[in-house]
Amino acid sequence: MAKFLRLYLKISIDIRKFFCIYYFFVSLSTTSILKDFKNKKVY
């Protein structure tokens, strides 16, 4: 049981890390797209 719990914690931490990185990249890409859109709108 303890082994299963440890494995579960490890997996949940990995998933959280993955989601943090994924969210970071998504926010970066959306901000860059918004900047490009604003620049195109200006010209």
Q: DSSP letters along 1-43, please?
A: -HHHHHHHHHHHHHHHHHHHHHHHHHHHHHHHHHHHHHHHHH-
Residue matched to tokens 């943090």: 20
What local confidence, expressed as pLDDT, does residue 43 receive? 54
- Measured in residues, the chain has a length of 43
What local confidence, expressed as pLDDT, does residue 35 receive? 82
Residue matched to tokens 């901000």: 31
What is the reported pTM? 0.53
Asked whether the CA dihedral 32, 33, 36, 38 is positive or negative, the reply is negative
pLDDT tens profile 3-33: 999 999 999 999 999 999 999 999 998 888 8
What local confidence, expressed as pLDDT, does residue 8 receive? 94
Asked if residue 39 has pLDDT above 90, the reply is no
One-letter amino acid of 13? I
Asked if residue 42 has pLDDT above 70, the reply is no
